[in-house]
Copies of this chain bind each other. A is one copy, B any other.
């Protein structure tokens, strides 16, 4: 079984800033309150590029920061929760825009806000089994198009973005652990049907996140036979700073280990983890923990040696 390593990280962020001052003019709530309940100062809305173009820009950025060239990519997997491109998916358009013609397998998945974790794990399996050498794993969402503009609870959180990660086979042995669990019985808590708008039961999602995420992280740490104190860096889905803080508190983990950029980016669903991953400094052999959670409900955690 082959090990994997991260060989490229990139992101794309839109140009149109949506700040709390602007939101104050829409809702009968002041800027300070919006920041207090979300931890978010700005979100960004894409007004020019399609969702496929956003995914492509993030992929180019990852390739520019990688020793892997585009023609070495033999798997493209895209996680998104806001596309109406059912067939073909975004991955095929990225393949075409990158000009990768041969022996490349493409796939789009729908894994809710935590879809990037599923995509990463699927790509890792293909590499572990030596079916793929270099996988481009993309998380992209263009939530500005599917937000109900009158819904305070989602409008203050959500923005657009794309993140891309290249993972490659590695001759050196590197540990990898993952655990993903789904709760279809709570599938109504966060819903997006194409043609409608996102509907979120915010209080119930908060309760789910602060309970299930620490549980899933603990299960994954147990698989890895590690204590949370042995993890060097933690990236949680950037859903809401209050949720991130509460999960960190429950895990008993130092704040400095838990990366957050939600104040400047907002919640970009499937893009949040790969964007965050592209923003941190990674040192050889550090232990990194990624955890996604959200619609499905779907909760997934990965611990890897980088």
**B-contacting residues of A (Cβ < 8 Å)?**
1, 76, 81-89, 91-97, 100-113, 118, 122, 125-126, 128-129, 131, 178, 180-185, 187, 190-195, 295-298
Contacts and interface: CB of A to CB of B under 8 A. Distances in A.
A118 B107 contact: yes
Residue with the greatest number of chain B CB neighbours at <10 A, chosen from A88, A93, A112, A194: A88
A94 to B, nearest CB: 7
B181 A103 contact: yes
Contact of A85 (B88, B109, B193): B193
Contacts of A106: 182, 184, 296, 298
Nearest to A81: B87
Contacts of A125: 122, 125-126, 129, 131
A190 to B, nearest CB: 7
Given A84-B194, A107-B118, 14 more contacts: A1-B1, A86-B192, A88-B112, A88-B184, A88-B296, A88-B297, A91-B184, A95-B185, A96-B187, A105-B182, A106-B182, A107-B111, A110-B110, A125-B126
Given A187-B88, A195-B195, A295-B87, A110 B109 contact: yes
Residue with the greatest number of chain B CB neighbours at <10 A, chosen from A84, A104, A193, A296: A296
B104 A185 contact: no
A184 B94 CA distance: 8
Copies in the complex: 2
Residue with the greatest number of chain B CB neighbours at <10 A, chosen from A1, A180, A184: A184
Contact of A105 (B84, B94, B181, B194): B181
Contacts of A91: 182, 184
Residue with the greatest number of chain B CB neighbours at <10 A, chosen from A86, A103, A194: A86
Contacts of A105: 180-182
Nearest to A108: B110
Contacts of A180: 105
A1 B1 CA distance: 8
A45 to B, nearest CB: 19
Contact of A84 (B100, B187, B193): B193
A86 B88 contact: no
A171 B297 CA distance: 33
Contacts of A89: 110-112, 296
A104 B184 CA distance: 9
Contacts of A178: 131
B104 A107 contact: no
Contacts of A108: 109-111
Contact of A193 (B86, B95, B118, B182): B86
B81 A83 contact: no
Nearest to A180: B105
18 contacts: A84-B195, A87-B113, A87-B296, A88-B112, A88-B184, A88-B296, A89-B296, A92-B184, A93-B187, A94-B184, A95-B182, A95-B183, A101-B183, A105-B181, A106-B184, A110-B110, A125-B129, A131-B178
